[in-house]
Amino acid sequence: MKNLKLLILLILIFIQIDLKPQSSIPIIQITSSSAQKSETSVTVNPIDDNNLFVGTNVSPDRIGFYYSSNSGADWTENDNFDNEVRTDPGVAYDLLGNLFYI
């Protein structure tokens, strides 16, 4: 019975830990567009980590991109980058800092 009480106490402690809000993680809105986004891909330039790039589907028939050169403080956005591509975007920088959007 004593072990059962200890087990229940440990479970309650872990449940409380898991339910705490993640207040140290900022939520940053990078686009003013109300268009629905999906299948988002994010990359950081290994040469200059101030450069962030996001590729996304812009529902239902376009892909878009969002770029920041100051660690996410400001963003350039384009919700109509291509309206012929119908696939999930993938973005990456190579080790030389070249950006690829596929």
Write down the pLDDT at residue 31: 79
Per-residue model confidence (pLDDT) at position 33: 79
Mean per-residue pLDDT, 73-86: 79
Q: CA–CA separation, 13 vs 55, rounded Å?
A: 39
User: pTM of the full predicted structure?
Assistant: 0.70
Q: Residues 11-40: pLDDT tens digits? A: 655 555 555 555 676 777 777 878 788 888
* The pLDDT of residue 95: 93
Q: Report pLDDT for 59.
A: 74
CA atoms within 13 A on the CB side of 86: 3
What helix, strand, coil percent values describe the chain, rounded to 5? Answer: 15, 35, 50
Name, in order, each residue with C-beta under 8 angstroms of 78's C-beta and a sequence gap of 6 or more. 64, 65, 66
Q: Is the confidence at residue 2, as pLDDT, over 70?
A: no
